[in-house]
Chain A
Amino acid sequence: MAKRIDVTDLNIFYGNFKAVEGVSMSIPPRAVTAFIGPSGCGKSTVLRTLNRMHEVIPGGRVEGKVLLDGQDLYAGDVDPVAVRRSVGMVFQRPNPFPTMTIRDNVAAGLKLNGVKDKKRLNEVVEKSLRGANLWNEVKDRLDKPGAGLSGGQQQRLCIARAIAVEPQVLLMDEPCSALDPISTLAIEDLINELKQKFTIVIVTHNMQQAARVSDQTAFFNLAATGKPGKLIELDSTSQIFNNPSVKATEDYISGRFG
């Protein structure tokens, strides 16, 4: 089910301002790719172009190609809404829908896309909650509001919601930065399980997390303040952290800046 992503020569703009320049990379299926880099270097921006969320911001636009298993997501006849059903996203701060129960939150993606069969919905809800390691904790209160859970549980709820629509790829934008260390560990364990089914791309400012969780790491950086961000180096995680080829990468890894 999971697919590979190939990015070719991606330039990302806010209006006339070029935020990210010339990104080309390959994201392998059923593996975790981490984007690391200092604040403002464009890693979240690049992530958001992978599910066409960047253009939700007024003035946001993109030049270049993003291929999902060979299909260009930015081709002229492509519906961004359809793209977002194939490429899911989990955000930095857990954002369950406040007016919905836990069950409805997980089913939200399906229900809003027209699935009505109660049996199917319940099956998917259970499957997704199990997949997010949340089932045992909430199975007795599926009809309570989603907002009543702890931060870590809410984030796992959002993950369940994202995987319920069975995307090909799961994008995670600093999913643990608002959570305590124990919840973070739970989510990292979850990511390790999820990668057997999904292609995962995770943005993180926590280098140790990238080292723990990812198979491949991409290091982004700004050429200088005010200049666009660029992909500096992309390699297997062990290479990046033990033997980086570019000096900037090594400086960032060893904490000389960032």
Chain B
Amino acid sequence: MTTVTDAATLSDARPLDLSGKSGSRAAKNSIATVVMSLSFAIAVAPLAWILWTVAVKGGHLLLNASWWTNSQQGITARRVGGGATHAIQGTLLQGAVTAAISVPIGVLTAVYLVEYGRGKLARVVSFMVDILTGVPSIVAGLFIYSVFMTTFGMQRAAIFVCLALTLLMIPTIVRSTEEMLKLVPNELREASYALGVPKWKTIFSIVLPTAFSGIVTGILLGLARIMGETAPLLILGPYTKAIASDLFSGNMATLPTMINQDRDQALQPAVDRIWAASLTLIVLILILNLLGRFISSRSKV
């Protein structure tokens, strides 16, 4: 009895201090907030800086129509002129061929892992995909070189670049397709089975279409990464100034090798061109990225 009233009186006697926490804790909190916000600014700064640099130093060349239509044939480092079409075509062509090889293998492997695989083989395949993810791009290039050039004595050609890039692209596609397939609700598969549809048709006509936009996004993002890869090109894809379309013989130029070729140049025309090529490459990759994100935002899963 008395205790209760005593306690009530005790706490009523002193007014509650709601004004704020003790000084040092509040200070630490404020400092933390500032640090976090500053970090974000620091993280974004290089991106802005790079994009700015590339745009300012190379942008004016991209506005010339000839950049997109002419190659570097006949142009030397001190001459202004010519374009990047040989490199742009090379990058796009190699990207397309790489995708054409890696997408079927990657998607089917993902289908295997999600829809069919149970037991040991599936675990082994998954493990192998993990290993493949970790292969450094230079080692992939080195592998292709040692198989086809060192052992079989063939000449370097664009197709071998594509093979090396395929090694790098397959694991990306497997993992992203796997994620998308797992997102398809099991109920859809059951509904299809209950209609008397066999398994392969269920996967082909129901599961894959449902996951389609996500899979496409994964492919586009994988492609964007591949297009920026330079390491295998250094070993397998020497530069040339002319337009090339033969995958199986001769050299083919790409944007990365075009940049690499003149990277130590001091003459202004050449310097302008490597910045412009950098901008072109970034723009290409950005378009693929944005396209991928746009498609995934309209996804049905």
Contacts and interface: CB of A to CB of B under 8 A. Distances in A.
Q: Do A and B make up one complex?
A: yes
Interface of A: 51, 53, 56, 58, 81-86, 88-89, 91, 93, 95, 97-99, 108-109, 112-113, 147, 158, 161-162, 165
A239 B106 CA distance: 60
Interface string B186-197: 011011111111
Contacts of B212: 99
Nearest to B208: A99
A99 B187 contact: no
A53 B198 CA distance: 12
Q: Closest 10 CB pairs between A and B?
A: A85-B196, A89-B194, A109-B195, A84-B196, A95-B187, A98-B300, A112-B197, A95-B191, A99-B209, A81-B198
A89 to B, nearest CB: 4
A174 B23 CA distance: 61
Contacts, number: 68
B97 to A, nearest CB: 29
A103 B215 CA distance: 26
Contacts of A82: 196
Interface in B193-207: 193-198, 201, 205-206
A97 B301 CA distance: 11
Nearest to B213: A99
21 contacts: A53-B194, A56-B190, A81-B196, A81-B198, A83-B196, A84-B195, A84-B196, A85-B195, A91-B187, A95-B188, A95-B191, A97-B191, A97-B210, A98-B300, A98-B301, A99-B206, A99-B210, A109-B195, A112-B205, A162-B194, A165-B196
A109 B196 contact: yes
B21 interface: no
B136 interface: no
A109 B15 CA distance: 74
A227 to B, nearest CB: 27
Contacts of B192: 97, 108, 112
A81 B201 CA distance: 11
A158 B188 CA distance: 11
A216 to B, nearest CB: 23
Residue among A58, A95, A113 facing the most chain B CB atoms (10 A cut-off): A95
B299 to A, nearest CB: 10
Nearest to A105: B191
Nearest to B189: A56
A83 B194 CA distance: 9
A130 B106 CA distance: 44
A217 B251 CA distance: 78
Given A53-B190, A165-B196, 17 more contacts: A56-B190, A81-B197, A84-B193, A84-B194, A91-B187, A95-B185, A97-B188, A98-B210, A99-B209, A99-B212, A99-B300, A109-B195, A109-B196, A112-B192, A161-B191, A161-B195, A162-B195
A187 to B, nearest CB: 17
Contact of A109 (B197, B209, B210, B301): B197
Contacts of A98: 188, 210, 300-301
B28 interface: no
B118 interface: yes
A147 to B, nearest CB: 8
B201 A112 contact: yes
Contacts of A93: 187
A162 B210 CA distance: 20
Contacts of A113: 196-197
B193 A56 contact: yes
A161 B148 CA distance: 55
Interface in B277-301: 300-301
Contacts of A51: 194
